[in-house]
Structure 1
Amino acid sequence: MAAIESFDNIHLDLSKENGKCRFAENGLGWKPAGGGEAFTLDSSNIGAAQWSRAARGYEVKILQRTSGVIQLDGFQQEDYERLSKIFKSWYSITLENKEHSLRGWNWGKAEFGKAELTFSVQNRPSFEIPYSEISNTNLAGRNEIAVEFAVNEDSRANGRNGAATSGKGKKASAGKDQLVEMRFYIPGTTTQKKAEGEDAGSDADEEEKNAVALFYDTLIEKAEIGETAGDTIATFLDVLHLTPRGRFDIDMYDASFRLRGKTYDYKIQYEAIKKFMVLPKPDDMHFMICIGLDPPLRQGQTRYPFIVMQFKRDEEVTLDLNITSEELEGKYKDKLQSHYEQPLHQVVTYIFKGLANKKVTTPAKDFMTHRQQYGIKCSIKASEGFLYCLEKAFMFVPKPATYISYEQTQSITFSRVGGAVSALSTFDITVHMKGSTASSQFSNINREDLKALEDFFKLKGLRVKNEIDEDANMLAAAMKDEAMYSSEEEVVGPKADRGSADEDEESVDEDFQAESDSDVAEEYDSNHESEGSGSDESGVDNEVDDGEEADDDDDEEEKEAKAQQPPKKKKKTA
């Protein structure tokens, strides 16, 4: 056998570019075909090797003694015998032939190995997840755990000599389409033995624990998620977050920061920070720090492109950074200080600015409300919040956190929406976007801020349409017409045709005149009584009069009888 064995068209760790792989007695190496930095692995660091089918043919997976995984993909089936002799003769390792499960089941057994998590179906591996690719994990539900994968395009540019392959995301960055999250459903409980002393067999105590919680704790330990406490540059405890809602501890590291809560735990790279804003709250008691992220933070099915923290204005802190003087003078010169004794929100801002190297954005100085504040109290649909006018964009916080750049704004419309009472004291702003029909509406803004907003938008060169003044002019014209109409009605009112109302009044007057001028005597008029009593023309008239007098007597008797009835009723009720 020759001293060197070479293989062409081999891909290292799922890379797009192929290269030449060479094996020798002292180790192996890979060099990209187009030129570039070569990768080498010493024979003493080769712990095990596996042969299996892969995307580009067959793959040799090498498990390092330092818990790393190397994947060489692109071999042909006939290369197995040749490679088996190489590993047996030079490295004293058996090239194990691994057959993957092809059943397609989504249930199986998860096993924690030295360098990777293996999901097996019927004792055959279905897929493997190297610990180096796991960036974070969270308990997403009662029996559900979410595993997030690192995305780091710059990892391969950092060099991969020897054991330097522990950089997160080195394989996930191989393609445009990347797997960023996977979820496992783990029901039931399990027992965990607590051994004390040397005798861990019979005297071990068994503790019942949720299987998903044990899986979570084991994965955090194996994947080494988050740096150790000694690597923490600064820590802020129990910080109130408005988005996502809750209290989190903030651990700040060299390249990332971590949010630790009771339920969720996030690790965020500083490279993901795209915007950093410090916004004073209009209550003059708090400051809000808003951090824009890309990719956004995920909590279950919800995505949060902005993190909103809230700090008390007068809360001060004394902090010494966990960093050496050499690093402070070299890497963080003019960016960080070793000691801080200032308000808490300022210290957090300074450290984020120094570590993430991001510009701090504050509200524009050219705009203030009628109460001399930067935040405008308003609402998006049913969510109340505060709108800030920055130098280059609008920002609405806390939820839903909305960022609108002035460059993307087509026009702004002031309008009055709502009932008669609210419309007099508030107005709405509708921001129309360029190149689309989308718009954002901010409602219930105080009427006294209209002039200041209109002047600020014109100062920024934005197109403004004020429908409130148009409505006011139309309303004034309508009120003027109504006043003229009512004054004309007062002048010509008696001559105007008012329908049946005038007819009723005229008929009443005629009846009144008819009663006074009529010669016909009514039944109970005095003229009628005098005529009836002096008439002797017939006996019929006399009989009629007598009958009427008899009826009158009967009526009087009935009245007396009715008058005596109420006392009887009172006795019955008593």
Structure 2
Amino acid sequence: MTDKKQFDFDEIYNGLEPTIGRIRFAPSGLGWRGADQSKPITLSVEDFRKFTWLRVARNFQLRIALKDGKIAKFDNFRREDFEELQRIIRQLYQMQLETKELSIKGWNWGRTEFNGDSLIFNVSNRQMFELPVTQAIGALKSGKNEVTVNFVDPGQPGDQTTTGMSNKDTDELVDITFYIPGTVVKSEADGNDAENSEDDEEELAADAAFYDTVKSKLELGQVTTEHIVQFQDVLCLTPRGRYNIDMFQDSLRLRGKTYDYKVQYSNIIKLFLLLKPDEVNVLFVIGLDPPLRQGQTKYPFLVFQFLRDEEIDAELNMDEETIQTKYEGKLSKTYAAPTYEVISTIFRVLTGRKVTVPGSYRSHHGALAMKCSMKANEGYLYPLEKCFLFIPKPPTFIPISDIGSVTFSRVGNSSVGNSKTFDIKFNMKTGNDFQFSSINREEYQRLDEYLKQKKIKTKSELNEGAQITYRELEDDEEDEDEQDEEDSRKRRRTEAANNVSDDEDEESPDEDFVAEQSDSDVAEEFDSNPESEGENGDED
């Protein structure tokens, strides 16, 4: 404290910021400045609505509710600061410092409510924890009566350039799942007064209402900056689905029927624009670090597909002055061009990343990639100038600088005879090998020349235990079936010829046999003379 009209407290954090600083109270308001001499934060006394004191992870927190609905939070006050802080607020602002008790029962069931930008979980009418929903990157309905809220991955907040701390110094909440059974009245879900909507008794699933509320909070987090452009109903191959892409100045938002994600441009590290071998579709690949999460599954690459002949008319939501000053004229106010060109251009400018396109490699049929399989997944392997890229699932990035050698298998005679395909294995310097199978044998020469051009060591081997795909097994079974059928036909023709010969022998008359005359056409078996039988028997 310096005088009666001005009070300071050191070692205070502003919200979730990792930088420690100093807070100063004055009759006109308060201000906070970090130790790194960053831009100070000031609040006017006219904006104050309520002061609250509560226990948090970093000692005690002074929470200030503002008249515009926002909440300012300052952490790391000591317990003995309460009385002094209470006196300062009463003296300078003529307001009371209220104390808020938290629930410490440790229960995992309770009730949720939304207060401004925060999600509050209450147990026995006491707050247990609070989550800043606007800082979440997505929400999804992960199961029946379940809603998962995803926050930043551990790699992002531990970035040295953004927070000043390494990954080992911080623990971050990645995601949290709520189980919400039952139903709620639609008026309650919309936040309307039940007395004014007595006729509206429609019920909604409680988890659906909660999910819609969280999504609306995510949208409010981006209201401060209007979107630059929107792309509707874009087909995504990995992860599978259709998404609306809303692009802002610093981030983009993916909105789908099940998943809703926010991606910072700083997390985009690679961009690829690739023509599929069918020459009808174009693939736009986005590399992410940290990867996108869907539950326990991580997606380091997003693969979007566009029709090559599809065009779009787009208008950017910014003025010409901003385009010329901030983006150096690299963007246009309006676009009327193929969709893949518009999207790749806007991504390149907003992210500051180079878009990688195919190089000089051409397959046997003139395509930019070769069709192959990675385990049970079929896709395309693109030999680019500095890497190999397999898409669409699972997207696999193989830098040429990390390849130790390449092994060709089944390029000659193998256990299954003369195969029409071969396998290739990338032996990486890091020890993680990648194997691709079912490559058309016609691609061998072109691929071998490409590897020699990149000065990559190659070798061929007759691998009797090489992996054989289901397609090849089916082809082999078909060949065996055809051979068996041909053998069966030969056997049937031989048997038929033998049967015809036997039938002719049976039907030919016996010259030594003379039929006895009889009144009946068929001689009775027991119509004979016993004496003659005896005589014949003696003769025999």
For the Cα contact (< 8 Å) 1:22–1:29, is it kept in 2?
yes
Instruction: Give the aligned length.
Output: 468
Kept after mapping to 2: 8 A contact 1:374/1:388: yes
1:411 — aligned with what? 405
Deviation at 1:134, TM superposition (A): 2.9
- The aligned residue for residue 378 of structure 1 is 372
Deviations 1:446-467 (A, max 9, x none): 1111111111111112111122
1:148 to 139, 147, 150: 150
2:425 aligned residue: 430
* 1:401 pairs with 2:401: no
Which residue number in structure 2 is paired with residue 327 of structure 1?
322
Contact 2:134/2:217 (<8 A) preserved = no
Residue-by-residue CA offset, 1:132-181 (whole Å, 9 max, x unaligned): 423432222231112223577699999xxxxxxxxxx9999996332232
Counterpart of 2:55 (choices 30, 49, 53) is 53
Tell me the alpha carbon deviations over residues 77-133 of structure 1, each in whole angstroms, 9 at most, x when there is no partner.
Answer: 222111112222322332111121111111111111134221111111111123442
Match of 2:513 in 1: none
- Answer whether contact 2:29 2:44 (CA < 8 A) is retained: yes
CA contact (8 A) 1:295 1:305 kept: yes
Q: Counterpart of 1:520?
A: none
Aligned position for 2:471: none
In 2, the alpha carbon distance for the partners of 1:423 and 1:190 equals 67
Counterparts of 1:73-92 in structure 2, within 5 Å, are 73-92=75-94
Q: Secondary structure at the match of 2:537?
A: helix
Compute the displacement of 1:400 (Å). 0.7
Decide which structure has greater helix share.
1
The aligned counterpart of 1:501 is none
Report if aligned partners of 1:16, 1:175 keep a CA contact under 8 Å in 2: no
**1:176 maps to which of 170, 173, 190:** 170
How far 1:251 sits from its partner (Å)?
2.1
Q: Conserved in 2, the CA contact under 8 Å of 1:133 and 1:170?
A: no
Structure 1 unaligned segments of length 5 or more: list them.
159-168, 472-548, 558-574
Report the Cα distance in structure 1 between the residues aligned to 2:178 and 2:311, rounded to whole angstroms: 43
Cα distance, 1:339 vs. partner?
2.4
Q: Are 1:554 and 2:534 matched, yes or no? A: no
Specify the code of the residue in structure 2 equivalent to 1:313. R
Q: Cα 1:390–1:211, aligned 2, differ >3 Å: closer, same or farther?
A: same
CA RMSD of aligned residues (A): 3.5
Matched, 1:68 2:70: yes
Measured in 1, the distance between the counterparts of 2:211 and 2:464 equals 62
Mapped to 1, the partners of 2:256 and 2:30 lie a distance apart of: 45
The residue number in structure 2 matching 1:205 is 200
Instruction: Report whether the alignment pairs 1:344 with 2:339.
Output: yes
8 A Cα contact 1:15 1:174, kept in partner: no
1:323-375 superposed Cα distances (whole Å, 9 cap, x missing partner): 2222222222332112222222112211211222210111221x211101111
367-376 or 193-202: which moved more?
Answer: 193-202
SS at match of 1:106: coil
| 2:264 matched residue in structure 1 | 269
Residue 305 of structure 1, CA deviation: 1.0
Specify the code of the residue in structure 1 equivalent to 2:312. Answer: V
Structure 1 residues 113 and 408, CA, compared in 2 at 3 Å: closer, same or farther? Answer: same
Which secondary structure does the structure 2 equivalent of 1:332 belong to?
A: coil
Shift of 1:266: 1.9
- 2:272/2:284 contact within 8 Å kept: yes
Give the Cα–Cα distance (whole angstroms) in 2 for the partners of residues 89 and 345 of structure 1.
62
Note if contact 2:15-2:73 (Cα within 8 Å) is conserved in structure 1: yes
Q: C-alpha separation between the residues in 1 aligned to 2:46 and 2:407? A: 71
Cα distance change on mapping 1:197 and 1:27 into 2, 3 Å: closer
Give the equivalent residue in structure 2 for 1:215.
210
Tell me which residue corresponds to 1:518.
none
The Cα of 1:377 is off from its aligned counterpart by: 0.3
Q: Which amino acid aligns with 2:128?
A: S
Is the aligned partner of 1:251 residue 2:246? yes
SS in 1 for 2:116: coil
CA distance 1:355–1:34, change in 2 (3 Å): closer
- One-letter code of the match for 2:536? D
In the other structure, the counterpart of 2:31 is 29
Instruction: Using the TM superposition, give the Cα deviation of residue 225 of structure 1 relative to its aligned residue in structure 2, in angstroms.
Output: 4.5
CA distance in 1, matches of 2:206, 2:463: 65
> Structure 1's 128 and 274: CA in aligned 2 closer, same or farther, altered over 3 A?
same
Task: Provide the secondary structure at the position in 2 that maps to 1:87.
Answer: helix
1:98 to 91, 97, 100: 100
So what's the TM-score if we normalise by structure 1? 0.74
Say if 2:305 is the partner of 1:310.
yes
In structure 2, how many angstroms separate the alpha carbons of the residues matched to 1:109 and 1:42?
34
Report which of the two structures shows the higher radius of gyration computed on alpha carbons: 1
Q: Which runs of 5+ in 2 are unaligned?
A: 466-531
Q: TM-score, normalised by structure 2?
A: 0.78
- Secondary structure (helix, strand or coil) at the match of 2:107 reads coil
**1:189 counterpart residue number:** 183
Corresponding residue for residue 137 of structure 1? 139
In 1, distance between residues paired with 2:63 and 2:165? 14
Listed one character per residue, the Cα deviations across residues 262-319 of structure 1 (whole Å, up to 9, x for unaligned) are 2222222221111110111111211111111112112222211111111112222232
